[in-house]
Amino acid sequence: MTKMVGPDAVSVILANPSPDSSSDLPEIIVQVLDLKPTGNRYMFSASDGKKKIKGIFQSSLSSEVISGNIQNLGLIRVIDYTLNDIPTKNEKYLIVTKCEVVSPALEAEYKAEVKSEEMTGIVLTPKQEETGIVLKPKQEFQTKSAAQIVHEQSGNMAPSARMAMTRRIQPLVSLNPYQGNWTIKVRVTSKGSMRTYKNARGEGCVFNVELTDEDGTQIQATMFNEAAKKFFDKFELGKVYYISKGTLKVANKQFKTVQNDYEMTLNENSQVEEAINEAAFIPETKFSFTPIDELGPYVNGRELVDVIGVVQSVSPTMSIRRKSNNETVPKRDITIADETKKTVVVSLWNDLATDVGQELLDMADKSPVVAIKSLKVGDFQGVSLSTLSKSNIVVNPDLPEAKKLRSWYDSEGKETSLASVGSGMSPSIKSGARSMYTDRVSLLHITSSPSLGEDKPVFFSIKAYISFIKPEQAMWYRACKTCNKKVTDAVGSGYWCEGCQKNDAESSLRYIMALKVSDASGEAWLSAFNEQAEKILGCSADELDKLKSEEGETAYQMKLKEATWVPHLFRVSVAPQEYNSEKRQRITVRAIAPVDYAAESKYLLEEMSKMNISM
């Protein structure tokens, strides 16, 4: 059986980079050359004997290659395709989304040599004994154009079905900012909440969705203002949509949540239609867990983390007033622990605080396991976690990690002494207080640069001796036992917490300490809060208050003196502060650890080796 390579097939493709299904194109038959795998797809070169173009088969066609239907040196009829520009290489890429096998492998690469005005094609035979090229006169075919077929089939279809018929669906991998019209078919695999913002240009609203196509490629789409209001209710998690008339730009690495070089923006003129024949399902959340004791290097970084832990405590909902727009938003803190025997506080915001947070509060006595995706790591209490609009929480997930964690907690974890990851940072790089040895500076470096931290707080590590603790200072404040915020005396008896909006019969004391530290370069005043101050003094604020009241001022001052002239490793933040109309530096202790002399010696040797000192 003879098979025909389409004359000038590559030229036809180049002349029609993104044809609609209504385009009346000649039959496109090319030879497959240099077929090779790349990931879950296959790359090749399409040849018509005169010209070649690099191409790739969509992943849905990989099975055709694996089964042997599509072969190297074989012929295919290209039915649906997209031509993608690669501006940096000044070349084009053919993405084949639908094709038919015309012939198995020929004996060799075909190269056109015979030209004839009477012939419209050059006919080849698959592998046989004779190797010559067989020429045949043009055959007459009675065919219908794509436009006729679409017109006949789409008359009574729903809008989404008509969009699918009249536009060629393109895979997400083929999109780039240099393309014009395109239509994609994607499932909503993540949907953020509607957020408001205020900047120099005014106020507005925004929300994001993560979209995934049938190949598993993902992209983040963002909508602002009118587009956000138009599409927020339309997009539903797990449903499939046809989308067109959006724009693409290079993704901002600081905010992107999926592996894609581009991000999409939809405006009020974009088209979004639900694919009504596609079954909806809530996609399984994919996690990449970071152990709690390894969170240190992520503090105040741009990278988001996923964690899994057993819930130790859940606070009531608090109302927090934003400084940016003076709005009040709900917040709830939960404390979780994992097999590293460390705990961390996770702040839940907005709907997560009121919905999932309430669910966790109701079942807190059962110590549920939670898996949380996309958390920002902050420096509150050394290390803390906070949810974002894109964060996702799964309670008691059906995951191997959750089963392992539950088994550990039930067998030994509930009886184990757990410590906060922030206060328990050790100086070893492996355990995460890598922050104790990165950005190591002298006190003089900080105090001689008053402009440090003007844009945002900067972080340093220092090794210093505590030289003085003010004995007459207000060493502590009375705090709510639930949220640790300051309480006031309630009417009648007890204490009133503004954060929790409730009276409580009891409260606790929490440190707020000012101390002077010294090193070889100079000295500076630091501020230390409860967890760090407890490590310095070796007792809680309640215990120190009891000591002062029962044993007197002398015992109290002796306790403070015992903590002086002891070396420590400090992780500090530096930011300017205005006091009595005067700007001054505020240096705050974020983490503290005793000096590990083996690790310290290793660090000093490494620093000496960088000096290139000749002996």
Mean pLDDT calculated for residue range 179-194: 86
Instruction: Work out the average pLDDT over 81-91.
Output: 70
pLDDT at 137: 44
Q: Which fold has domain 170-272?
A: OB fold (Dihydrolipoamide Acetyltransferase, E2P) (2.40.50)
The 3-class secondary structure across 279-294, one letter per residue, is: CCCCCCCCCCECCHHH
Q: Which of 84-93, 133-142, 392-401, 429-438 has the lowest mean pLDDT?
A: 133-142
351-360 contact pairs (CB < 8 A, 24+): 351/193, 352/387, 352/391, 352/393, 353/317, 354/317, 354/330, 356/393, 356/395, 357/314, 357/317, 357/332, 358/317, 359/395, 360/311, 360/314, 360/334, 360/395
Single out the residue of 539, 518, 418, 420 nearest to residue 476, CA to CA.
539
DSSP-based helix, strand, coil % in the chain, nearest 5: 20, 40, 40
One of 3.40.190.10, 2.40.50.140, 1.10.10.60, 3.30.465.10 is the CATH number of 428-474+511-601, namely 2.40.50.140
Please check whether the two domains, 7-101 and 170-272, share a CATH topology.
Answer: yes
Question: Residue 450 has which token pair?
Answer: 């008053």
pLDDT at 140: 42
**363: Cα within 13 Å, side-chain hemisphere:** 14
Strands 508-519 and 522-529: antiparallel
Query: Which of 234, 236, 237, 223 is CA-nearest to residue 194?
Result: 223
Q: Is CATH 3.55.50.30 correct for 290-418?
A: no
- Could you tell me which residues come within 8 angstroms of residue 552 by beta carbon, excluding any fewer than 6 positions away? none
Q: Which CATH code for domain 7-101?
A: 2.40.50.140
pLDDT in the model for residue 252: 74
Sorted by where each begins, the domain ranges of the chain are 7-101, 170-272, 290-418, 428-474+511-601
Copy the structure tokens of residue 312: 């130790």
Look at residue 426 in the predicted model and tell me its pLDDT.
41
- Strands 495-497, 487-489: pairing is antiparallel
Strands (E), 520-581: 522-529, 567-579
Lowest mean pLDDT among 128-132, 248-252, 435-439: 128-132
Q: Which stretch of 18-27, 63-72, 442-451, 585-594 has the lowest confidence by average pLDDT? A: 18-27
Q: Nearest 5°: phi and psi at 507?
A: -145, 175
94-148 pLDDT, tens digit per residue, is: 888 889 998 888 888 888 765 544 444 445 545 444 444 444 444 444 444 434 4
Tokens read off for 198: 């205020």
Predicted TM-score (pTM) of this structure: 0.45
Average pLDDT in the chain: 81
Q: What is the pLDDT at residue 268?
A: 92
Relative to beta strand 508-519, strand 502-504 is unpaired
With pLDDT > 90 as the criterion, what percentage of the chain qualifies? 31
What is the pLDDT confidence band of residue 227, given thresholds at 50, 70 and 90? very high
Question: Which amino acid is it at 509?
Answer: L
3-state DSSP assignment of residue 603: helix
What is the predicted pLDDT for the residue at 543? 93
- Lowest mean pLDDT: which of 66-80, 321-335, 385-399? 321-335
